[in-house]
Amino acid sequence: MLMNDRPVRVIGLVLTISYAAFIVWLYGRQPQTMAEVTGAITARVGAYRVDRQAFADGLQLFRRDQLEAARAAFERADPAQQDARTQFYIAYSYYRSGWHRFYQDDREFQQGLERADKAIALAGGRLVVADPELRIHNADELRAELAGGLRTEASDFNPMRIFKGRK
Amino acid sequence: MTTRTEAVYLPLMFLTVSMLGGLRVADRITFAPPPLFALVLAMLLLGVLVRGGVVAPERLLNAQRPAVANLNGLMVIVTTFFASTQVFNLIIPESGLPFLLFNVFLFVLLINTLAGSPDRVSVLRSLAVITGTSFILKFIFLTALSDPAGGAFKRALLSLFEGMTLGALSQQPLHPATGYIAFGTLVLFLIGMAMLPAAATHRAQPKLRISGDVSRHRRS
């Protein structure tokens, strides 16, 4: 081997291992958009930032119960879906828009459950959002509420449940 | 083969094939991991490549080479295996009867090639034919049959197979981009295969032996 071969070989090894790790990550995480790919990479190096203005807009709309518009603003604030707090609010908005006094919208609850799972995973387990205007602060509690809404149980047929309020 | 080809170009090419081989563009983008049988087919293909002299493992891994060079060689072999796995994942239909038929057909074909003693050019040519034919069958023939809108090609095929039910043949419809990406991936894979370090003495030994025998015969 020539002496000047060594740097090329080492660079090749580093590139190959990095590229292979990226592919393994890609197959494991299954990102849907380029924003998710770049967002996850920047989040890993601690350079990912949520759009504060869009988040504030989302929060305002969420509090006014304009849930679909709030979700759009939250999605704009966190396009790569890397911020646990924003994902919590999106999950919460699905819970609120899917909740009805006589029934629950399974589609909305399912989407909410996926976002709640994402929020918990991003937070690394425990996630508490200290917002006094919310009735659920813990992501695990929100998840349980969404999962419970998707299950069909004997208590669903209890007429008294119509008096149960939305959280 | 240059150092750059072995250390950089080949592993990166095969990793790109590995990445794109599982890419499916439909209503959402997914990266499909290979089915278990694709690993078996890739192992058989690796055997065919070594036996046919398309790749010479002794040129990539041997005791005379420095450790870092052997690591590069190992990367080439490993990435070749993964690229082969993903190419089978790409050309084999996703479900139903075609999935079974393609797997059986490719398995028999590779076993048959392994049992023979093909040379490098034959193996490369055969590989191009296998991947090309499978590409046409999956991305043109089966895609046309599975098209819910049903174009002119589907109508022509239906009239060709009159009376046959398509339930067992139809596949999940894919975005046209998948076919173009698959084509590029297969071309990249075949280029990579042709760039692998070939067995230098393959098929040369029998000729030398014959000439030696003749000279001995002349002396006597």
Of B8, B18, B22, Cβ closest to residue A15: B8
Secondary structure of A27-94 in HEC code, one letter for each residue: HHHCCCCHHHHHHHHHHHCCCCCCCHHHHHHHHHHHHCCCHHHHHHHHHHHCCCCCCHHHHHHHHHHH
pLDDT digit string (tens) for A120-152? 998 888 999 999 989 999 999 999 999 988 888
Asked if residues A69 and A61 have their Cβ atoms less than 8 Å apart, the reply is yes
| Res B174: pLDDT | 74
Q: How confident is the model at residue B125 (pLDDT cuts 50, 70, 90)?
A: very high
Averaged pLDDT of chain B: 84
Report pLDDT for A120.
94
Distances (CA, A) of B6 to A1, A97, B72, B121: 13, 57, 7, 21
Within 8 A by CB and 6+ apart from B51, the residues are B114, B117, B118
Instruction: Kindly state the tokens that stand for A96.
Output: 């609120």
- Percent above pLDDT 70 for chain A: 98
Residues of A with Cβ-Cβ distance to B31 under 8 angstroms:
26-27, 30
The CA angle B150-B153-B155, to the nearest 5 degrees, is 60
A65-69, B90-94, B166-170, B187-191: least confidently modelled range: B166-170
Write phi, then psi, for A99 (nearest 5 degrees): -85, 130
Least reliable range by pLDDT among A1-10, B37-46, B87-96, B131-140: A1-10
Task: Supply the ipTM of this predicted assembly.
Answer: 0.80
pLDDT above 60 for B137: yes
Residue A98 neighbours by CB distance under 10 Å: 22
pLDDT digits (tens, 9 = 90+) for A27-49: 988 887 777 777 777 777 777 88
* Chain B residue closest in CA terms to A4: B3
- Is residue B147 helix, strand or coil? coil
Q: Does the predicted model carry a pTM greater than 0.90?
A: no
Asked if residue B206 has pLDDT above 60, the reply is no
Sign of CA dihedral A41, A47, A52, A53: negative
> Which of A2, A4, A13, A16 to mutate: most B Cβ within 10 Å?
A16
Confidence of residue B204 (pLDDT cuts 50, 70, 90): very low
Give CA B69 to chain center in angstroms: 26
Separation of alpha carbons B201 and B198, rounded Å? 9
> B170 falls in which pLDDT band (50, 70, 90)?
low
CB atoms within 10 A of CB B63: 5
Q: In the prediction, which pLDDT does B220 show?
A: 46
Considering only the beta carbons, identify the residue of B8, B30, B31 that sits closest to A12: B8
CB B94 within 8 A of CB B171: yes
Q: Do A27 and B31 touch (CB under 8 A)?
A: yes
Residue B137: φ, ψ to 5°: -65, -45
For range B100-114, the mean pLDDT: 91
**Residue B33 CB coordination number (10 Å):** 13
Cβ-defined contact of B31 to A30 (cutoff 8 Å): yes
Q: What's the rounded mean pLDDT across residues B205-210? A: 49
Mean pLDDT of B12-31: 90
Residue A93's CB is within 10 A of a number of other CB atoms, namely: 25
β-strand B23-25 against B29-31: which pairing, if any? antiparallel
Please give the pLDDT value at position A146.
92
Question: What is the identity of the amino acid at A62?
Answer: F
In terms of average pLDDT, the best of A1-15, A67-81, B142-156 is: A67-81
Give the per-residue pLDDT at B189: 96
